[in-house]
Amino acid sequence: MADVNRVGTGTASRQRRRRSEAGTKMTPVPFTDLAAMAGEVWPSVERDYLACLLGAAYIGGPAVTSFEEEWAAYCGADYAVGVANGTDALELTLTALGIGRGDEVVVPANTFIATAAAVVRAGADPRFADVSDDTLLITPGTLTEAITPRTRAVIVVHLFGQVPDMAGILDVAAKMGICVIEDAAQAHGAEWDGRRAGSFGDAACFSFYPAKNLGAFGDGGAVVTSQADLADRVRTLANHGRSHGASHYEHTYVGTNSRLDTLQAVLLSGKLAFLDAWTQRRIVLAARYREVLSGTGLRHTGVASQARHAYHLFVVRVAGRDAVRVELARRGIESGVHYPVPCHWQPPLRRFADRPLPATEQAAGELLSLPMFPHLTDCQVDFVGEALSDILQGMTVDPEFIDVQ
Ligand SMILES: Cc1ncc(COP(=O)(O)O)c(C=O)c1O
């Protein structure tokens, strides 16, 4: 095991310490920079945003419709329904598919809790699947293992921005007669075999939470699908159960209030014009991280040749993770952990944990997310990469325990 107390004793560390002693100011590296993205987009949306704000156009209207059309087209699907957040997108999709009490939905356990919580809130039971130790994504094999006679659907999570082997997963789902829902909250613009996230499943659920690759000035989400009746049911459920064309006080179902605000739609339309360039920049930054970290013995893992990774997060795996984070923070570098506790170990979901999930459980103690956002500079990546290399040198970590993804 690594000696986690021996950190930061390498040559680079000594050099930096000398620089800092000589009075060089250390610039902090944030985990993300939402203000930089807002600043870049604002000039192109200012006029429409203010017109909407001052014209009191707050709910629905042409701005929402036009963002929905743009987003569906971008994803390669026929319909998008704007909703209040990604969690609602998942719950509404399950309900609209008729999935509820007595049903089981396969979900990976290494995801944000919203994926599994949506299943419980829809009235069904999550059935946790393990993931590939290499990509940390669900595979056709781990999906097959998890399916039982009660399984009605799988929620495939495009974790960190990578779409898993969708050809294999769709094949298993078709054979077993279950629905496929993509949790694409982290995967705007990601691709598998040239097809975009959002175009594979019966439906795909997106989050526009501010820190996402396409983020709003608050919460937002969308359900994307090419099934007209499914899109219609989601829209009805999200709008107090009002069917298409019904008057304000006519309700077909007991629904809820989960709509994408008009102001958010205006901003998201503006940001969409930047998404491809921002994703490309994330890809370049990820390649640079790998290069800077390549001398450390870190093992690169898990980007399939068919995948275009959108790098919502850049995640490395390292033993002694918590000590490494402390040392990074001491050098002014923010980091994150996605996710320290897998869903099947979360207290409200433990009752659904029926077997060990070795790859998921092993990863949970090692995952470390490094700063990743389009406005991160090359110098900042070099600084983070060199700091990490330096810290690891001091830790004498067995390279077998370290993984870069
Ligand atoms: C994988 C995943 N699923 C679902 C969600 C939920 O999205 P929201 O925060 O918009 O409800 C998130 C957001 O963090 C997520 O990362």
Q: Which of 105, 113, 207 to mutate to test the pocket of ligand 1 (most atoms within 8 A of CB)?
A: 207
- Whether the predicted model's global pTM rises above the 0.75 cut: yes
Q: Which of 87, 223, 259 to mutate to test the pocket of ligand 1 (most atoms within 8 A of CB)?
A: 87
Cβ–ligand 1 contact at 112 (below 6 Å): yes
Q: Which of 209, 343, 367 to mutate to test the pocket of ligand 1 (most atoms within 8 A of CB)?
A: 209
Residues lower than pLDDT 50 in the chain: 1-24, 397-405
Cβ–ligand 1 contact at 207 (below 6 Å): yes
> What are residue 34's phi and psi, to 5 degrees?
-70, -30
SS3 187: coil
Tell me how far apart the alpha carbons of residues 66 and 214 are, in angstroms, rounded to a whole number: 16
DSSP at 265: H
Peptide bond into 339 cis (omega under 30): yes
Per-residue pLDDT, 299 = 59
Cβ–ligand 1 contact at 185 (below 6 Å): yes
What does the block give as tokens for 330?
């001491």
In Å, how far from its chain's centre is CA 233? 25
Strand spans (E) along 95-168: 104-108, 125-129, 151-157
Nearest alpha carbon, ligand 1 atom 8: 86
Give yes or no for a contact between 316 and 405, defined as CB atoms under 8 angstroms apart.
yes
Alpha helices in 294-336 (DSSP H): 321-330
* CA 121–ligand 1 middle distance (angstroms): 15
Per-residue pLDDT, 26 = 56
DSSP string computed for 335-396 = -B-S-SS-GGGSGGGGGG--S--HHHHHHHTTEEEEP--TT--HHHHHHHHHHHHHHHHHHT
Determine the atom of ligand 1 nearest the C-alpha atom of 88.
11
Per-residue pLDDT, 404 = 44
CB neighbours of 219 closer than 8 A, spacing ≥ 6?
A: 84, 85, 208, 209, 264
Distances (CA, A) of 130 to 78, 192, 241, 295: 32, 20, 36, 31
Per-residue pLDDT, 296 = 79
Cβ–ligand 1 contact at 327 (below 6 Å): no
Nearest alpha carbon, ligand 1 atom 7: 86
CB neighbours of 287 closer than 8 A, spacing ≥ 6?
A: none
